[in-house]
Amino acid sequence: MTTPGDHDLHTLAGAYVLDAVTGAERAAFTAHLAECAECRDEIRELREATARLGTSAYLWPRPELRGATMRAAARISQLAPVTADHPVAGQAPAPPAAGPGLTRAARGRALRLAGSSAGLRGRLAVVAAAAVLAGTAGFAAVMHDTMQTLHHSQRQSQLIASVLNAPDAVMRTARVGGGMARVVMSHRERRVVFMASRLPPLPAAERYELWLMGPIGDRPAGMLRTRHGGMAGPAVISGLAAGDMIALTVEPAAGSRQPTSAPLVLIGS
Amino acid sequence: MTDGEHDGPARRRRAEGAAWAAGRPRRLEDLLPAVARGDERAYEAVYDLASGWVLGVARKVVRDPAQAEEVMQEVLLEVWRSASRFDPALGTGTAWIMTLAHRRAIDRVRSERSQASRELRSAAAVIDYDDVAEAVEASLDRERVQRCLMSLTEVQRECVRLAYYGGYTYAEVAELLGVPAGTVKTRMRDGLIRLRDCLGVT
């Protein structure tokens, strides 16, 4: 495919708003939007008009769906806000592999972080990947168990399935204290599924928080709720970028915008 | 809320009333930041305002009533999960939710289409506008949108309808209508511009 010029891109505005474009075109147009204020205005207006096509089709949901949705929401953790430096929207799809240099850089930052909070230094455990199981029977079993036992919600399940079924999915496991963290990541889906067991219990004022840490910065990836036995997840993390590592830190219960403690574990691709 | 006791408008007034009664803001732009902070009452108010819109568009696009309900719930849960990502500078709360809803519904039909390797459905099947109308609110808004759609040229209208309600890409629409892809892109854009002007959206 040739790179479309600005004019070609501009005519894509209608198709873009109608979601009538391919993934590659969406990415190209989204990137174009970042540079074109006029286009952003046009998109905003066309989106409002397009939304009316949808809202005018109003249908009454069955009343029982309301309670079911509320109960499901109560079990889903919310995404932390995106900081202005690293907006989630508009990033081009990430290439599949992380360069080793980037990985080292991320580790270096984690070590600096550890050095800067002396009291937590002992907690730091940077763990290299333990296993790559993509495409093996073990992977299929993990996937099956995951799908069977961890139905947070249908949406969650579908996101998990999209990561587990991605052709480039890789699984990593790492020790956290006496427990175990496991991630499945797909750069194609730009998502990570994080699960953990036997996580050390935390005082009431603290909670676990997940992060994406990589060349484009540290981004909060949601608070991690632990259940009985230190079980946590599966949590779906979106916005995975090239060179990202997945980190777990202990934060004040309200969560943090930037990590305030050294990662207990850093898992990279 | 009791089932089936009231007709639609009464139920909606009651839902809206509940949102008011809670002493909460009722505009999505005010509710969504509260949802982002984990405010469950605000989330209930968002549900009451938006679930019918989301179900409506889901039903238009995926057609199957059960699947449309699933899409509606997925979208509302996504609203809960990612309310912190709503940015009022980029548009209204309605547009944000409807964009999530439409994408989700489109993803569903597209994966269904590719899994089944089905032939493209005929254009006639998609633009049949009224077969999900049984429970559609007979609203002024709907009439106005319909009237504005009718003010588009036929090609503009078919391009917009096939893309929005049919879930087709512009290349597929070009195939269905037998016109060049470049023309479809252009008609989608100028059709939406005309729709925007007719609806008075700014």
Range of the domain at B147: 123-202
A165 shares a domain with A109: yes
Q: Is pLDDT above 50 for B147?
A: yes
In a domain, A127, yes or no: yes
Judging contacts by C-beta atoms under 8 Å, the chain B residues touching residue A77 are 81
Residue B167 maps to which CATH number?
Answer: 1.10.10.10
Distance CA B179, CA B76 (A): 37
Distance CA A109, CA A102 (A): 11
Give the residue-averaged pLDDT of A161-173.
81
pLDDT at A269: 66
pLDDT band per the 50, 70, 90 thresholds, residue A174? confident
B98 shares a domain with B3: yes
Mean pLDDT of chain A: 73
Beta bridge partners of A179: A176
Residue B8 maps to which CATH number?
Answer: 1.10.1740.10
Which of B100, B118, B136 is a domain's end point? B118
Distance CA A167, CA B126 (A): 33
What digits encode the pLDDT tens for the residues A242-268?
888 899 998 888 888 888 888 888 888
This model's pTM is above 0.80: no
* Percent of the residues in chain B that have a pLDDT greater than 90, as a whole number: 60
A128 shares a domain with A198: yes
Closest chain A C-alpha to B4 CA, distance in angstroms: 8
pLDDT at A6: 56
Residue A11 maps to which CATH number?
Answer: 1.10.10
What digits encode the pLDDT tens for the residues A78-106?
888 766 544 444 333 333 333 333 333 34
A124 shares a domain with A28: no
pLDDT band per the 50, 70, 90 thresholds, residue B139? low
A241 shares a domain with A174: yes
CB-CB contact of A224 with A77 (8 Å): yes
B96 shares a domain with B20: yes
Q: B28 or A151: which carries more pLDDT confidence?
A: B28
B108 shares a domain with B8: yes
A146 shares a domain with A42: no
What digits encode the pLDDT tens for the residues A20-39?
998 888 888 888 888 888 88
pLDDT band per the 50, 70, 90 thresholds, residue A2? very low
Q: Return the amino acid letter for B15.
A: A
B141 shares a domain with B98: no
List of residues 6+ apart from A2 with CB closer than 8 A: none
pLDDT at B54: 96
In a domain, A38, yes or no: yes
A133 shares a domain with A252: yes
pLDDT band per the 50, 70, 90 thresholds, residue B183? very high
pLDDT band per the 50, 70, 90 thresholds, residue B156? very high
In a domain, A23, yes or no: yes
Least confident of A61-65, A78-82, B51-55: A78-82
Structural domains in chain B (count): 2
Q: A94 or B88: which carries more pLDDT confidence?
A: B88
In a domain, A72, yes or no: no
Q: How far is CA A80 from CA A211, A238, B16, B83, in A?
A: 10, 11, 28, 9
Contact at CB, B189 and A15, closer than 8 angstroms: yes
Q: Which of A9, A16, A52, A78 to mutate to test the interface with B (most CBs of B within 10 A)?
A: A52
Q: Is pLDDT above 70 for B138?
A: no
A111 shares a domain with A52: no
Q: B44 or A113: which carries more pLDDT confidence?
A: B44
B131 shares a domain with B114: no
Contact at CB, B47 and A70, closer than 8 angstroms: yes
pLDDT at B13: 46
Distance CA A157, CA A172 (A): 20
Least confident of A68-72, A165-169, B97-101: A165-169
What digits encode the pLDDT tens for the residues A111-128?
333 333 333 333 333 332
Q: What is the predicted ipTM?
A: 0.79
B131 shares a domain with B72: no
Structural domains in chain A (count): 2
Which of B97, B118, B139 is a domain's end point? B118
In a domain, A114, yes or no: yes
B49 shares a domain with B135: no
Closest chain B C-alpha to A202 CA, distance in angstroms: 21
Distance CA A186, CA A168 (A): 6
Which of B78, B97, B118 is a domain's end point? B118
Q: Which of A19, A40, A66, A191 to mutate to test the interface with B (most CBs of B within 10 A)?
A: A19
pLDDT band per the 50, 70, 90 thresholds, residue B25? low
Least confident of A45-59, A173-187, B156-170: A173-187
Range of the domain at A222: 100-268
* Percent of the residues in chain B that have a pLDDT greater than 70, as a whole number: 74
Contact at CB, B186 and A11, closer than 8 angstroms: yes
| Nearest Cα residue in chain A from B186 | A11
A104 shares a domain with A24: no
What digits encode the pLDDT tens for the residues A210-245?
999 888 888 899 888 888 778 887 888 988 988 888
In a domain, A86, yes or no: no
Distance CA B136, CA A104 (A): 57
